[in-house]
Amino acid sequence: MTELVTTLIHHSYQPPAGFGAPQPGVFKASTVFFPSVTAMREFDWKDKTAYTYGLHGTPTTYTLEERLCTLEGGAQCLLAPSGLAAIATVALALLRSGDEVLIPDNAYGPSKALAEGELKAWGITHQYFDPMVPADLAAKITPKTRLVWLEAAGSVTLEFPDLCEQVRICKAAGVWCALDNTWGAGLAFKPFDLVPGAQAALGVDISIHALTKYPSGGGDVLMGSITTQDDKLHMMLKLCHMRLGLGVGANDAEAVLRGLPSLALRYSAHDASTRLLAEWALQRSEFAQVLHPALAQSPGHAHWQALCENAAGGAAGLFSVVFAPRYSQVQVDAFCDALKLFKIGYSWGGPVSLVVPYELLKMRQSWPTHLKQGILVRFSVGLEAAVDLQADLEQALFSSGLSA
Ligand SMILES: *Cc1c(COP(=O)(O)O)cnc(C)c1O
């Protein structure tokens, strides 16, 4: 007989196997037990057939990784503590002093900050290319170029690039191309199979996804993923990921697992409301330009149409407006403050609609030629009724004095 405390810790009860329920169980661990010392010596943490340490994977994280592979059409997946951590892991795993990385000028801002900060300090250079001019990307590839980032649609301004042509340019030059696939979410298009039915698959080498957005769906989880199809490339990323000690919490992984079954339904609901509001904005004289890839007038519309319109998905729940140049920053800020349902805040993909005014000139090399001059505001459309969101936008235009 052992003492009570010992019995409680080493309790012999095992629940019956075969428990089935809609959601997979949540396994939490730093320590993982080995059945023997021999097993401890033999189990390889890189091999997903067993468990060695919580940081190297649990049933919960393996399950999430496999489901994300299915979502994106990849073969291997790594989880990171945020979307930005996923981006940084790719850079740290693949780039060395003397290398150069190419980034689209409309990339997610903190990804550019990483290049301008840590990467530069480590002797890794970067250049920004025009996402709408494939020849500019081709011209910027040199023998130093190791990695090219792609993003479709672009952050904040939502231009849709000729993704297929960009990938072809990278393949022809023999450089890795990594896509920030947060906007497409694995639904708008297939990053590893951009031309379904083509004889030879055309796809990116790496897809990162800020699971923080649509897969989580709640605005309450930070997580990222790095998905690949090539085993060698995956292993380079995995070794770096392990050495950096990156992991995710089991409860967060569970929250994303809970979000995945409704991902496609939510994405299309966000999409439908966003298109209604973007069409409404197009009719309003307060806006000089409305940016949403499904609008014929929006930059890169034809590329979106070719890649996404006939695919399973469509477009994410984001649109931006450029206010007519007669409005000052103070006036546009007052409009944002006057919104009631749209909250002021970063990120997207959750149920609550969000608004952010951006100072575009601080974010870009120069004012993009395809954009009208004026103050830019981005809306993230949540899951509220579109008619209520439209009424909110209308009341804010009037109560802030922008419309008479
Ligand atoms: C939000 C976002 C990220 C970063 O995700 P976090 O989890 O917030 O770090 C990366 N790329 C894009 C396009 C995003 O919108």
Whole-number Å distance, alpha carbon 253 to ligand 1 midpoint, is: 17
pLDDT at 260: 98
For 74, the 3-state DSSP assignment is coil
Q: Which residues of the chain does CATH 3.90.1150.10 include?
A: 262-399
Q: What angle do CA 336, 338, 344 make, to 5 degrees?
A: 45
Instruction: Considering only CA atoms, give the Rg of the chain.
Output: 23
CA–centroid distance, 149 to ligand 1, in Å, is 14
Residue type, 90: V
pLDDT attached to residue 236: 98
Q: What is the pLDDT of residues 323-359, one digit of tens each?
A: 999 999 999 999 999 999 999 999 999 999 999 999 8
In 46-94, beta strands by DSSP E: 76-80
Q: Which CATH architecture has domain 37-261?
A: 3-Layer(aba) Sandwich (3.40)
Closest Cα to atom 11, ligand 1: which residue? 108
User: Which residue's alpha carbon is at the smallest distance from atom 5 of ligand 1?
Assistant: 83
CA–CA separation, 23 vs 29, rounded Å? 19
Domain with CATH 3.40.640.10 in the chain: 37-261
Amino acid 404: pLDDT: 80
3-state secondary structure 162-220: CHHHHHHHHHHHCCEEEEECCCCCCCCCCCCCCCCCCCCCCCCCEEEEECCCCCCCCCC
Q: What is the pLDDT of residue 313?
A: 67
- The residue whose CB lies within 8 Å of the most ligand 1 atoms, and thus the one to mutate among 179, 207, 212, 358, is 212
Ligand 1 site-directed mutation target among 111, 151, 179, 180, most atoms within 8 Å of CB: 180
User: Does residue 182 line the site of ligand 1, with CB under 6 A?
Assistant: yes
- Look up residue 322 and give its two tokens: 């450029």
Q: For ligand 1, what atom is nearest to the CA of residue 87?
A: 10
Q: Is the pTM of this model over 0.75?
A: yes
CATH number at 262-399: 3.90.1150.10
pLDDT digits (tens, 9 = 90+) for 265-294: 999 999 999 999 999 999 999 999 999 999
Distance CA 394, CA 171 (A): 47
Ligand 1: residue of 150, 151, 213, 220 to mutate (most ligand atoms within 8 A of CB) is 213
AA letter at 60: T
d(CA 47, CA 56): 10
- The tokens describing 303, both together, are 């590329």
From the CA of 151, give the closest atom in ligand 1: 13
Which segments of the chain have a pLDDT < 70?
311-313
Query: Sign of dihedral through CA atoms 89, 90, 93, 96?
Result: negative
- Hey, what's the torsion of the CAs at 162, 165, 167, 173, to 10 degrees? -140
Q: How many helices (H) and strands (E) does the chain have?
A: 15, 12
